[in-house]
Amino acid sequence: MQQAQTATQPATAEAGNGGAVTAGDSVLSRGLNVRHIRFMALGSAIGTGLFYGSASAIQKAGPAVLFAYMIGGAAVFMVMRALGEMAVRHPVSGSFGQYASRYLGPLAGFVTGWTYVFEMAIVAIADVTAFSIYMGFWFPEVERWVWVLAIIFFLAALNLLSVKVFGELEFWFSLIKVAAIIAMIAGGAAIIVFGFQTGGATVAPGLGNLVEHGGLFPNGFEGLLASFAVVMFAFGGVETLGITAGEAADPKKVIPKAVNTVPVRVLLFYVLTLGVLMSLFPWDGIGSNGSPFVQIFSGLGIPAAPHILNAVVITAALSAVNSDIFGAGRILFGLARQGHAPASFGKVSRQGVPWMTVVMMTGILLVGVVLNAVIPEDVFLLIASIATFATVWVWAMILASHVAMKREIARKGLPASEFPSPWWPAASVLTIAFMALVIAILGAFEDTRVALYVGAVWLGVLVVAYRLWVRGHGRARAELADETAQLPQVPAGR
């Protein structure tokens, strides 16, 4: 990080359709179109948190987990609207890291950016490990580390080609995941409506299963609170959408459309899917006999159910790692432009890709090759809780940056935002309070409390690193071009 002081000053971004974004002597290609970003928005909600984390959340809260996903989803929507407003105003790579530096100060930008990289690194290591486990279902004789190594180099190579390749890959990964979720909902609904008896089931399917096994809140209000540690982990990664603004062909068009799909995604992928699942099977039996989604396919009499699900979760894992590399890499690029990371992370290839950031993420993921042999099978909740802390911290900084921006707009009489966050300021204040509640919940339960300890140490290390190594323009607020369209001037006399 000592090289940070040699990074060039950020330059004004140029946002032309099909053009590029310029930062100092580096150029990021604008290769993501509406189709890419829309499906990235859809796919970001489907991953390990849904296919595996949902069972853990259900065990904690029972059917009441549906309320947890709705409440958490509403909070995430407000975060995304705040991020969307800033992304349309300042479509830069580095996104919320640079927004925090611009509106809260350089230390806030430094901590926010590196905390997001930390979050992506933790989740990516978990995801490549999950991928190796999935592949072991088909190839049990192959050592797990072989799959980890193979997928790391495969995805790293793809990310080095061009951002358009990344976008295409995410489009097809997301299409498969979305189709699988819709098939699960349709299949489950058919079982409920027509009264089919699911394979091996001892309880008839129906909406009554939501209230007949201990009630809607079988573990009380405390169980609902405890589930937020896993629920918020499931939503982690949606903020990657804001990072795409720096490489979107038309950010003012595609970002608002993608952000506004968040409520639909939450209702479809989580609330409706898990509602159908808990109507088919008593909540206390979900996940105890394999994956809950295998139960749905098996109930439809599909003999290849385990293989179908395995293909879907492999796709989800590939998509997750792909997004992790992309998101962390672009934030590191932004940090380099601010003087908050080594200047080498600000260099791009001929294809307009920040290649050094991809190399670094590859190196971090190689740690997964080693850890894969020693990580215990019950490490998911620990990883989820640590990632939840990092995610919620980043979201809180996004909201705080947005509040500071709105105040500056009012104070200086700047043009109104083209994509304003709704219900300002009440919704923003309530969402920040909710984020504080989630962090408190992590500390209230013994199995997630370690996340607070890890998080506190991490933030402390970042503050020390900033004081010791960041120099020069890294101590100054980020300078971001305001691309808000000016109101047309009416000539005098008309």
Tens digits of residue pLDDT in 143-186: 877 888 888 888 888 777 766 777 777 788 888 888 888 887 88
Handedness of CA 339, 115, 127, 431 (dihedral sign): negative
Find tokens 């409440």 and name the residue: 71
- Residue 140's Cβ-side half-sphere holds a number of Cα atoms within 13 Å equal to 1
Q: Are 147 and 135 in contact (CB under 8 A)?
A: yes
Question: Could you give the CA distance from residue 475 to residue 270 in angstroms, rounded to a whole number?
Answer: 42
261: its two tokens: 């799909």
User: What pLDDT, on a 0 to 100 scale, did the predictor assign at position 125?
Assistant: 79
State which residues of the chain have pLDDT below 50. 1-25, 487-494
186: its two tokens: 């349709």
Question: Could you give the CA distance from residue 444 to residue 480 in angstroms, rounded to a whole number?
Answer: 40
User: What pLDDT, on a 0 to 100 scale, did the predictor assign at position 23?
Assistant: 39
Q: Are 218 and 62 in contact (CB under 8 A)?
A: yes
Using DSSP's 3-state secondary structure scheme, residue 202 falls into coil
**Of the candidates 108, 94, 122, the residue with the CA atom closest to the CA atom of residue 466:** 108
User: What pLDDT, on a 0 to 100 scale, did the predictor assign at position 8?
Assistant: 37
User: What pLDDT, on a 0 to 100 scale, did the predictor assign at position 202?
Assistant: 59
Cβ partners under 8 Å of residue 189, min gap 6: 276
Alpha helices in 250-351 (DSSP H): 251-259, 262-265, 273-280, 292-299, 305-338
Question: Could you give the CA distance from residue 192 to residue 275 in angstroms, rounded to a whole number?
Answer: 11
240: its two tokens: 């990657």
What percent of the chain has pLDDT above 70? 77
User: What pLDDT, on a 0 to 100 scale, did the predictor assign at position 7?
Assistant: 38
